[in-house]
Amino acid sequence: MGEENLDQFQRRTYDYVSKFSKIDADAAEKLVEKLVSEFGLDEDEAVQVVNCAPKSVEELRVFLAGGRKIIETSKLEAIIGLLSEYRK
């Protein structure tokens, strides 16, 4: 379905997502895969991290605080660096 075929609700949603997305869709998929395979995040955690693209370790910890595993600060810094590479 092309943009021209969207109804009013779909158009508003598309406009919102376009304004606030921080990483394009293809890059986001690759980034989620890297966060899961290289850093051991659950897919749900990785998707949330990519969607919000935190800019600091402190912000990142908020997304991972509910998890049962402890992630070293150096890994968190590496994740922030990776997010920075993909950010628009």
Residue 5 is predicted with a pLDDT of: 82
- Does the residue 8 lie in any domain? no
> Structurally, how many domains does the chain consist of?
1
pTM of the predicted protein model: 0.75
Q: What is the mean pLDDT of residues 64-85?
A: 88
Contacts 24+ apart (CB under 8 A), 39-46: 39/71, 39/75, 39/78, 39/79, 40/69, 40/71, 42/67
Question: What CATH number is attached to the domain comprising 26?
Answer: 1.10.150
Mean pLDDT of the chain: 87
- Does the residue 7 lie in any domain? no
Domain that holds residue 29: 22-86
- Does the residue 3 lie in any domain? no
Residue 2 is predicted with a pLDDT of: 63
- Does the residue 78 lie in any domain? yes
pLDDT over threshold 60, residue 1: no
> pLDDT tens across 10-52, in order?
888 888 877 777 788 889 999 999 999 999 999 999 999 998 8
